Amino acid sequence: MSFNYKNKFKAIISVIGASEIDKEIEDKTIEIGRLIAKNHYAVACGGLSGVMEAICKGAKEEGGFTIGIIPHTEKSLANKYVDLVIPCPFSQARNIVVVLTGDVCLAISGKAGTLSEICFAWIYDKPIVALSSVEGWSSKIANQKLDNRRNDMIYGVSTPLETINKINELLK
């Protein structure tokens, strides 16, 4: 018997972003997490701190389901808001797993690791939404194409409400 997540959730949203964030990014990310859960999506992320913890916290506040794909063998290292911990101790290679787990990829802030995940999402043809109202790679790359292999772009959004509206539009 296999588990079909679509019986429980409409889709999984891979959320990528900075492991160190300020209060503004934290507040926006928590609100996005709430909206993701309210819209019956699950969250997949790197399972640690910063954006990853804030998105999981927001999702859990609305009864959502969270998946943390952590770069360690010890499951206890995931943040306290992760429901399902998947150990993937392969350094940055876990970034591919985070991206491939979701049906849409959402970038919030971020440094080089986030940029690598954006590139993997582009290569693997995942729709990408980027929060443009915060510092980091999500704002630098919003509303652009990485190259000509795809017809779409990285969709820039500036508020939590715009974020969930774009995700809903992409998943129709």
Res 4: pLDDT: 67
Cα-trace Rg, the chain: 14
pLDDT in tens, 120-156: 999 999 999 999 999 999 999 999 999 999 999 999 9
The structure tokens listed for 58 are 């927001």
Q: In which residue are the tokens 């350094």 written?
A: 91
**φ and ψ at residue 43, rounded to 5 degrees:** -110, 135
57 SS3 class? helix
41 contacts: CB under 8 Å, gap ≥ 6: 9, 10, 11, 12, 13, 64, 167
The structure tokens listed for 22 are 């300020």
Helices (H), the chain: 23-38, 51-61, 94-101, 112-123, 137-141, 160-170
Res 29: pLDDT: 98
The full set of domain ranges for the chain reads 5-170
Res 129: pLDDT: 98
**φ and ψ at residue 50, rounded to 5 degrees:** 70, -130
Q: In which residue are the tokens 């980091």 written?
A: 136
Res 34: pLDDT: 98
The structure tokens listed for 109 are 């802030």
Res 7: pLDDT: 73
* 17 and 108 Cβ atoms separated by less than 8 Å: yes
Task: Spell out, as residue ranges, where the chain has pLDDT lower than 70.
Answer: 1-6
The Cα 82–Cα 17 span in angstroms is 16
CB atoms within 10 A of CB 147: 8
Please give the CATH number for the structural domain made up of 5-170. Answer: 3.40.50.450
